[in-house]
Structure 1
């Protein structure tokens, strides 16, 4: 079996055998402009190391943090949101307006009530708006009022949009069966933004596999750790948010054998923290929170923070002593940029160091990400003009930005995923300290020398040498990592309102500050550190938390391991409502049905849920499917008589994925 994990910085690959475990592993830089380069690099290396015949591979499974990173960094394609039966006031709920940003929204009449009865659908309004809308977006999201009770209007709108534009369309009823229109619209909007990114990833993997004669089924890890087919992932990429972290949890359990642990996975862009109990990750039944938005996607109860080895280093010089903050934005490390582009980076850094004073934009570069041109649709004139100046080779910001307003314009291009900023990161600090060495140390040293020219509030340089500044940055990453791990642990304990970064008591405990009242703090279970740089970061983090820790030998490819040892799982919920005596309405999993007998309705709902769950699991490649049914009945006694208000029948089908060997 072949496991692949495409992260923000590295693409990992493992050849895994159920009898021998990890046979071979390899890494390659993730190439965001052309994902196939990073994928083929990792796969060619792992195939060479394993010396196996590619045609002998029976299953390929893919996990990724690209969708998670995009949401954390506020990136993604421009999507048009079609709200059927909603009004502008609904944008104020569940953070929908913030998530929408400057993307267009269209409100049209239609929708259904709680029992599936329709309000007339204004097809003409949709058709009239499509020519202008289609020219400015790369995908569409449709959310209909009570579409989970009756999806007919979402389906009609989808047909019209596809006919007029040919662009990808996501309907809200396809992503969740839960009530809550604005949050379902938010989830659908985010899904639409991710479609092109995940489509490019899966397409890159499929093309490479075909070229190498690997005809095995391709699976993708979902946010709850289960596997789905590549075709399903293309339709519902939102389900791959937290895919990489979910795979890492499955991999952590497999690699360490620990049943109870706090798992923290540090990557280039994010740190993902979750709790594992009795060998299983906790699931967030209310929906995954990523990038500050609570979605309706059931996923591991993973908390994702914009903190990683490639996090932006920011200096606050307003106090007597300068403060260092990291993230949440990811930069391309100077050491990596120089490894990729050579003297384009180091020559500029040396020029800036020769200047008598530190420039406002010294040590920073802009470079195109290389995504397809159509993803730049809808740029404002000033954005398009600045984007035109940026090319495939990094351009120093002191030559790109002429006036202050252009900085905000550049930030918008970064948020759209069109441009990367290269600058100083913790990875550069590790190169200066000789704890990492895979990229260009000279560029890291030059960037650190530039940064240490900054002055604090007392007019003194913020550090006495590049090495001292590098250690300060690494110390800051240790502290922020400890805080985000504690934040996740406290939230699981029901103390989400306690902010470790602002708590005086937690600060005293982490710093081991002496006093008559002495504060100690630790975790009640081991800390498992994962990620390519886990070995260099987590010993200090665990020491600060006064906790046992484990960094497995293959911590650098835990996600890829988790990708191949998971199961396919499909869940379908069917609801029965009884609006009046003797009437039972079945909704969910298809068209609504009206019946007059409660027992018949319950049996019909069970059959619908189990058949659909089984067919979806099998469509995603599951074999030997096992079914579990859960029933929730709200049936109080009113004046001595039992009255069914609502019943929810959930069927869960699971099984190992089918392989090319049978």
Structure 2
């Protein structure tokens, strides 16, 4: 490995980072470039080209490229994603009420088909009539499909038949639930599959943009993507299972934090433009969430680091509540395009409007707000309602003031739906703008930030007083609010890890007194038992104050701004396969998982078959994921209680995990 360089890339909601890493020398070069939603390759090339120029390393020396991203996480947190059609086999409408499936489905179409299997893999006949009738229309109104069958983890035959038929008619991407999880729990598996389907086009665009850039530059190294548990998978597998990349960026940051700090025990908090991600390092390892990652309020079946993601970041929307005697502020969960960034990219479209609004004697309800297309391909706008399509056509590639765009109250809800689809950015005030006014950030247009803050500061609270004395005064209030909210979400994550998540850190009077250092006969205080590691480009400007509020040691490592990209290249490939053995009747043993059902009449023979099948499946998947010479570890879980003196096998689970370093290019 000593002769090889590894290229790590992290594509976030605001910035794309790149690092060139050498196993002996560490970080050789690093760079950032704005993430370009309309063409992700532009942001990738900006960061990678800058790194290659600084490092002066021949392209042939790059033996591995690894990518982490927060785009999937951000999309789920913000409720974004393509329109997907859900096909439920053997389920009924009542099953949508479980595990948040109905809420996640929203207005997307669902088809129920008779069929499915029993716990032992026995079939209920499949009837695809409803699918055949709906497919011609659906093929033009969705961007992908999700298929979930009853007990498909025991027998996936019906999912495969439905998948093949959908692909034949629609030629659209199709995700099957058995491809994502071997766990029981149909509705939650269906939810995970639905979310995966919505993310397919987004991750496909990202991986495709990266692959296209590498090809144009003549970089022929294998390409990997970070999974949500910190392991690596090949780019081709990531495109099939993009849901596994939720928490990819946070997982990579945790791996990077361990490498950069050498700390075995720490609370790691990574602030980006859209989210704050909090996790705990114990004995040098990240805790894993065995129940499945929770993102955007939904618990999935994706095994990932026990990372808690909150819609709070440098580009979070500022919301002012001016109804009380004094104004209060809340940040997030939605990300806005900061005014300073919008004006940096489109000065002539933004600055004159802000100046005109500030000269006006009266405040407008949409002052300081703009809309602009995100730039994603037009085909992803499939299925828009007529009023949505009409409004979308009025929004272009340059920001347009909301006062000009919106002519009725109802159009605001329409605009919000376009934002939720990921088609439109809202531009407005954020903590990043506040930092520009306070002189702690300098990369974008500070004048636009000042104008926006002066506009907002003119607002009146319930007592008729301005909500802030000046733009700088409001900027400090915003930064103070970010410090407080960040402290609350870090505490919430730590309390949940301690098993006392029923304490609401955001609304607890006791925690409020402790964070405020409130005086009183009874004095409340709170602190962490380990250092707080702050990651992210803006960590140095935010985290000392956050650590101070939490009475914790602040650790902001060198290269904290590219920890994700570093974590992307120092991880391992890992794949897991689970095979089950059950007994539907005395003397009969059914082997299910990682292939067709197998019926045997001897327990020892069935166990040997399950072990071999699990090992082979894990090795096969690890090699597909990009592992070089993987090693297998097998765990056996036998549920066989003694009943009236007789041993009764309920279920046996054989869990094989294959792991190894990623395959690299060699001379």
**TM-score of Structure 1 vs Structure 2, range by shorter chain:** over 0.9
Q: How much has 1:125 moved relative to structure 2?
A: 2.2
Per-residue Cα deviation, 1:391-428 (whole angstroms, up to 9, x for no partner): 00000000000111100000000000000000000000
Q: Which residue of 2 aligns with 1:107?
A: 112
Matched, 1:480 2:490: no
**Alpha-carbon distance between aligned partners in 2 of 1:395 and 1:451, rounded to the nearest angstrom:** 19
> Number of aligned pairs?
662
Distance 2:431 2:609 in 1: 58
Of 165, 171, 174 in structure 2, the residue corresponding to residue 166 of structure 1 is: 171
Alignment counterpart, residue 18 of structure 1, candidates 20, 23, 26: 23
For 1:62, the equivalent position in structure 2 comes to 67
Please list every run of 5 or more consecutive structure 2 residues that lacks an aligned counterpart in the other structure: 1-5
1:394 to 382, 396, 399: 399
**Following TM superposition, by how much is the alpha carbon of 1:300 offset from its aligned partner in structure 2, in angstroms?**
0.3
TM-superposed CA distance for 1:641, in Å, is 1.2
User: Is the counterpart of residue 641 in structure 1 residue 646 in structure 2?
Assistant: yes
CA offsets 1:70-110 (integer angstroms, 9 cap, x no match): 00000000000001111100000000000000100011111
Instruction: Find the partner of 2:461 among 456, 465, 471.
Output: 456
CA contact (8 A) 2:19 2:562 kept: yes
Equivalent residue of 2:94, what SS? helix
Q: Distance in 1 between matches of 2:608 and 2:256?
A: 39
Q: How far apart are the structure 2 equivalents of 1:653 and 1:387?
A: 48
Secondary structure of 1:577's partner? strand
Q: CA deviation at 1:501?
A: 1.0
Equivalent residue number for residue 89 of structure 1: 94
Deviation at 1:488, TM superposition (A): 0.2
Corresponding residue for residue 262 of structure 1: 267
Aligned match for 1:276, one of 272, 281, 295: 281
1:301-450 matches, within 5 Å, as: 301-450=306-455
Secondary structure of residue in 2 paired with 1:80: strand
After TM superposition, the structure 1 stretch with the greater mean CA deviation from structure 2, 264-273 or 574-583, is: 574-583
Aligned partner of residue 63 in structure 2, secondary structure? coil
Find the aligned partners of 1:468 and 1:41 in 2 and give their Cα distance. 36
Alignment of 1:513-524 (within 5 A): 513-524=518-529
- CA–CA separation in structure 2 for the residues paired with 1:523 and 1:606: 44
Which consecutive segments of 4 or more residues in structure 1 shift more than 6 A? none
**Structure 2 matches for 1:182-261, cutoff 5 A?**
182-261=187-266
- The equivalent residue for 1:610 is 615
The residue number in structure 2 matching 1:546 is 551
Structural mapping, 1:24-35, within 5 Å: 24-35=29-40
Q: Which runs of 5+ in 1 are unaligned?
A: none
Give the TM-score normalised by the residue count of structure 2: 0.99
RMSD: 0.6
1:123 deviates by 2.1
TM-superposed CA distance for 1:143, in Å, is 0.4
C-alpha distance in 1, partners of 2:356/2:206?
38
* 1:131 is the counterpart of 2:136: yes
In 2, the alpha carbon distance for the partners of 1:493 and 1:168 equals 41
TM-score normalised per structure 1: 1.00
Structure 1 Cα separation of the partners of residues 461 and 179 of structure 2: 53
> Secondary structure of the equivalent of 1:436?
coil
Partner residue in 2 for 1:650? 655
Q: Secondary structure at the match of 2:21?
A: strand
Offset at 1:580? 1.4
Contact 1:579 1:645 in 2 (8 A): no
- The correspondence for 1:510, drawn from 502, 515, 533, is 515
C-alpha deviations, 1:233-256, integer Å up to 9, x for none?
000000000000000000000000
SS at match of 2:37: coil
How far apart in 2 are the matches of 1:617 and 1:149? Answer: 21
- CA deviation digits over 1:569-612, x for unaligned, max 9? 00111111112111111111111111111111111111000111
SS at the partner of 1:513? Answer: coil
**Cα distance in 2, alignment partners of residues 84 and 496 from structure 1:** 36
Cα distance, 1:498 vs structure 2: 1.0
Residues 323-362 of structure 1 show CA distances to partners (whole Å, capped at 9, x for unaligned) of 0000000000000000111121111000100110110000
SS in 2 for 1:116: coil
* 2:301 aligned residue: 296
For residues 625 and 493 of structure 2, the distance between their equivalents in structure 1, rounded to whole angstroms, comes to 32
SS at match of 1:158: helix
Deviations 1:606-645 (A, max 9, x none): 1000111011111222123121111111010011111111
In the alignment, the residues of structure 1 paired with residue 184 and residue 626 of structure 2 have an alpha-carbon distance, to the nearest angstrom, of: 29
User: Could you say which residue in structure 2 is the equivalent of 1:593?
Assistant: 598
